[in-house]
């Protein structure tokens, strides 16, 4: 009896059940010893709402929330469920779903807008910190935006002044967010048949902001109450993200900071160094972190760190800010989304600088238990806790802001507690691939196109291409889905393109090295990787860089021999451990661009079977792409492979693969 009156100790996570990564396991244990709760523990203590998971709770007006759970055995006959206003389960699920698209598209696109604004100030030469760095990319983007790069002078064609080109590119780009007429300029970058599908379906975005606003309007109480019409607007908004906000973010970042090119780095918590000042950048925008990279490398800063007793400055990253400075500077990621708290629990994080998106508010509570300075930098992303320092970043004083932050980290080095524990685990990786470098590696300088890649797909060495992307999710074992899906794909000769936290997960597992091809790949992909010297998993960057996958797919279409549209390609998409609204927007622009896309964990449509069936089956007729959900990672990968094989058959190249595999055996026989 006495026991019952005692407060029950909260249930803690089992580290091995929570993650496949030994560094993460070690740090979860460490946190538990120190009595600091992490997301892994909280996931044990709070279960997700069963109705919300199904996508059928509506709180769009105060007569609700109206909850329409699907009965366990499903519904026989007519589905009579309705909210107070009469909204059906399909209407509610569709409204919720496209509001997620709007949230995700807004996040990517507003990030893109900030970049465009910094781009403008660089083009206007208002800033010493930001310059137009990548002229070839500027010219390519100018072309895509319809900006002239040459002028006629006395009947002679001359190159236009680059400053003028940059200024006009900035103006035209910024206009894409709110122009009054027309359609997004980048839509024309898509294969012609896809553009025509969008025209026919009536989903060509007018401008980026408008499609997001229209979702908020249509999903307001009592407006659009037809799930097909709702998801149509979801497509228009998602396309505005993928072929608009995200693509512009990527392009303008490349022009400002350089188009990534393959480079070597490391990944996991073990990149932190006990005897160095550890400064971690976390979030999504490279605009400030680029400055921090520049400042942290300055000899006077390193000297300053030494004067405070440190051996140097170790910069590392979390989430997509990490991916941004990884792909351009080789700065190593310290971890994925779910490892953010753990980086502070090492006791060795002298400062963590955050910008926007995917930042746990609990970082502030964790930082309180250590000496770590937690610094927010963005006017739209502050935290209520008192220990959080806000240093508002301004592109006009970018270097000064970065210097202040780096100095703060250095000054804080002396305040470390005794108990520093950095797990020893880290892995080598090659990152920094993109449309241009794939062309270089797999196309060769001679042809300068995707010809070699296509050739290897046609001859069957490469069975197909998969984009595996997205978050971690504390409702599933950390990194297990990511790694199992990717390994199953490469084992079956599917070349993987990765971004986001999947990229970091693959790096931690050692999959982003050319050597991993010999260990994990099927014979065909292994041969290609070894001949060309690339990893079987190519890291294409951050979440906004999923736009690189769209353009790479378009290049494959244009190189010829594999059909006329993205939907003809032996290709598939996947987000095994997704959690954010951005992932839904990405998934939906992949689907609306013709890609079969499988998500893991759950999909918030399961409570509305008719709507669920519409996005998983009927959308294929409109765009060639459709959704699917499969939590089991092996089945998940097998679904993708089955789709790839279906496309190979439609292209008439299924036999080539059999021949290819046979000739491999023959060759081995010959060698023996």
Residues that bind ligand XCC (CB under 6 A): 284, 319-320, 337, 358, 470-471, 500-501, 542-543, 580, 582
For the chain, state the CA radius of gyration.
25
Which of residues 47 and 80 has its CB atom nearest to ligand SF4 in the complex? Answer: 80
Out of ligand XCC, ligand SF4, none, what residue 510 binds, judged by CB under 5 to 8 A for its kind, is none
We find the least distance from the C-beta atom of residue 112 to ligand SF4, in angstroms, to be: 32
Q: Which pair of structure tokens corresponds to residue 234?
A: 């979801």
Q: Is there binding between residue 83 and ligand SF4 (CB under 6 A)?
A: yes
Measure Cα distances from 497 to 191, 244, 319, 549, 574 in Å.
20, 21, 17, 7, 10
User: Which of 22, 64, 312, 523 contacts ligand SF4 by CB under 6 A?
Assistant: 64
User: Which of 34, 216, 221, 399 contacts ligand SF4 by CB under 6 A?
Assistant: 221
Q: Which pair of structure tokens corresponds to residue 381?
A: 């992303």
User: Which of 19, 38, 60, 472 contacts ligand SF4 by CB under 6 A?
Assistant: 60
* DSSP, residue by residue, 117-152: HHHHHHHTT--SS-----HHHHHHHHHHTT---EEE
Q: Is there binding between residue 59 and ligand SF4 (CB under 6 A)?
A: yes
Which of residues 232 and 477 has its CB atom nearest to ligand XCC in the complex? Answer: 477
Which of residues 358 and 422 has its CB atom nearest to ligand XCC in the complex? Answer: 358
Residue where the block lists tokens 């103006």? 171
Q: Is there binding between residue 58 and ligand SF4 (CB under 6 A)?
A: yes
Which candidate, 317, 343, 278, places its Cα nearest to that of 30? 343
Q: Is there binding between residue 66 and ligand SF4 (CB under 6 A)?
A: yes
Which candidate, 466, 511, 503, 470, places its Cα nearest to that of 487? 511
We find the least distance from the C-beta atom of residue 91 to ligand SF4, in angstroms, to be: 8
* DSSP, residue by residue, 495-560: EEEE-HHHHHHHHHTT-SSTTHHHHHS-HHHHHHHHHHT--SEEE--SSTTHHHHHHHHHHHHHHS
Out of ligand XCC, ligand SF4, none, what residue 320 binds, judged by CB under 5 to 8 A for its kind, is ligand XCC
Out of ligand XCC, ligand SF4, none, what residue 582 binds, judged by CB under 5 to 8 A for its kind, is ligand XCC
Q: Which pair of structure tokens corresponds to residue 128?
A: 């010493």
Q: Give, for 400, the enclosing helix (H) or strand (E).
A: helix 398-412
Touching ligand SF4, residues 84-103 (CB under 6 A): 84-85, 87, 92
The 8-class DSSP code of residue 107 comes to H
Q: Which pair of structure tokens corresponds to residue 187?
A: 């839509």
Per-residue interface string for the shown chain with ligand SF4, residues 168-207, x marking contact by CB under 6 A: ----------------------------------------
Phi, psi (rounded to 5 degrees) for 378: -110, 135
Say how many residues touch ligand SF4, by CB under 6 A.
14
Q: Is there binding between residue 274 and ligand SF4 (CB under 6 A)?
A: no
Alpha helices in 244-394 (DSSP H): 246-257, 286-296, 299-307, 319-329, 340-345, 362-368
- What is the spatial distance between Cα 551 and Cα 624, in angstroms, rounded to a whole number? 17
Q: Is there binding between residue 51 and ligand SF4 (CB under 6 A)?
A: no
We find the least distance from the C-beta atom of residue 357 to ligand XCC, in angstroms, to be: 6
Which of residues 63 and 642 has its CB atom nearest to ligand SF4 in the complex? Answer: 63
Give the chain's largest Cα–Cα span. Answer: 99
Out of ligand XCC, ligand SF4, none, what residue 524 binds, judged by CB under 5 to 8 A for its kind, is none
Q: Is there binding between residue 223 and ligand SF4 (CB under 6 A)?
A: no
Stretch that binds ligand SF4, among 22-30, 82-90, 195-203, 267-275 (CB under 6 A): 82-90
Out of ligand XCC, ligand SF4, none, what residue 337 binds, judged by CB under 5 to 8 A for its kind, is ligand XCC
Q: Give, for 314, the enclosing helix (H) or strand (E).
A: strand 313-318
Q: Which residues bind ligand SF4 (CB under 6 A)?
A: 58-61, 63-66, 83-85, 87, 92, 221
């Amino acid at each position: 009896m006495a026991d019952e009156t005692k407060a029950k100790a909260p249930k803690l996570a089992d580290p091995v059940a929570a993650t496949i990564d030994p560094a993460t396991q070690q740090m979860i244990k460490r946190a538990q010893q120190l009595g600091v709760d992490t997301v892994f523990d909280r996931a044990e203590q709070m279960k997700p709402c069963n109705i919300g998971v199904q996508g059928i709770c509506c709180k769009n007006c105060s007569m609700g929330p109206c909850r329409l759970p699907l009965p366990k055995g499903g519904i026989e006959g007519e589905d009579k469920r309705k909210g107070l206003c009469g909204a059906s389960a399909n209407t509610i699920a569709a409204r919720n779903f496209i509001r997620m698209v709007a949230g995700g598209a807004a996040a990517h696109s507003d990030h893109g807008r900030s970049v465009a604004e910094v781009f403008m100030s660089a083009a206007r030469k208002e800033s010493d910190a930001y310059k137009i760095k990548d002229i070839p990319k500027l010219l390519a983007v100018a072309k895509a935006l319809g900006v002239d790069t040459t002028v006629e002078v006395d009947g002679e064609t001359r190159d236009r002044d680059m400053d003028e080109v940059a200024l006009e590119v900035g103006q035209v780009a910024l206009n894409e967010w709110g122009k009054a007429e027309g359609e997004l300029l980048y839509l024309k970058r898509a294969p012609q048949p896809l553009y025509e599908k969008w025209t026919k379906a009536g989903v060509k975005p007018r401008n980026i902001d408008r499609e997001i606003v229209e979702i908020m309007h249509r999903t307001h109480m009592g407006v659009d109450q037809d799930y097909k019409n709702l998801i149509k607007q979801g497509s228009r908004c998602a396309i505005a993200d993928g072929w608009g906000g995200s693509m512009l973010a990527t392009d303008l970042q490349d022009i400002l900071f350089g188009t990534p090119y393959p480079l070597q780095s490391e990944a996991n918590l073990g990149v932190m160094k006990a005897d160095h000042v550890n400064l971690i950048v976390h979030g999504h925008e490279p605009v400030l972190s680029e400055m921090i990279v520049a400042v942290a490398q300055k000899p006077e800063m390193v000297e300053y760190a030494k004067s405070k007793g440190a051996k140097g400055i170790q910069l590392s990253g979390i989430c997509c800010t990490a991916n941004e400075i990884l792909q351009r500077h080789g700065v190593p990621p310290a971890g994925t989304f779910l490892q953010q708290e753990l980086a502070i629990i090492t006791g060795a994080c002298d400062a963590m600088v955050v910008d926007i998106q995917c930042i746990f508010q609990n970082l502030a509570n964790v930082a309180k238990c250590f000496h770590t300075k937690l610094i927010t930098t963005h006017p739209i992303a502050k935290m209520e806790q008192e220990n959080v320092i806000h240093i508002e970043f301004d592109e006009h004083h970018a270097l000064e802001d970065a210097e202040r932050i780096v100095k703060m980290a250095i000054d804080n080095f002396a305040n470390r507690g005794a108990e520093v524990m950095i797990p020893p685990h880290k892995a080598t990786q090659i990152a920094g691939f993109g449309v241009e470098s794939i062309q270089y590696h797999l196309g060769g300088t001679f042809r300068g196109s995707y010809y070699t890649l296509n050739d290897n797909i046609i001859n069957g060495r490469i069975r197909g291409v998969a984009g595996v992307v997205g978050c971690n999710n504390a409702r599933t074992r950390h990194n297990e889905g990511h790694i199992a899906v990717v390994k199953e794909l490469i084992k079956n000769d599917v070349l993987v393109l990765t971004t986001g936290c999947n990229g970091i997960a693959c790096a931690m597992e050692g999959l982003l090295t050319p050597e991993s091809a010999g260990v994990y790949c099927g014979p065909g992909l292994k041969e290609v990787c070894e001949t060309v010297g690339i990893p079987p998993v190519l890291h294409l960057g951050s979440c906004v860089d999923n736009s690189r996958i769209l353009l790479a797919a378009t290049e494959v279409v244009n190189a010829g021999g594999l059909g006329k549209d993205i939907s003809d390609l032996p290709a598939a998409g996947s987000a095994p451990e997704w959690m954010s609204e951005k992932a839904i927007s990405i998934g939906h622009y992949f689907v609306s661009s013709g890609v079969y896309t499988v998500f893991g964990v759950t999909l918030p449509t399961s409570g509305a079977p008719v709507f669920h069936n519409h996005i998983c089956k009927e959308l294929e007729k409109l765009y060639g792409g459709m959704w699917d959900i499969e939590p089991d990672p092996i089945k998940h990968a097998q679904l993708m492979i089955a789709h790839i094989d279906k496309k190979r058959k439609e292209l008439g190249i299924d036999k080539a693969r059999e021949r290819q595999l046979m000739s491999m055996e023959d060759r081995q026989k010959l060698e023996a």
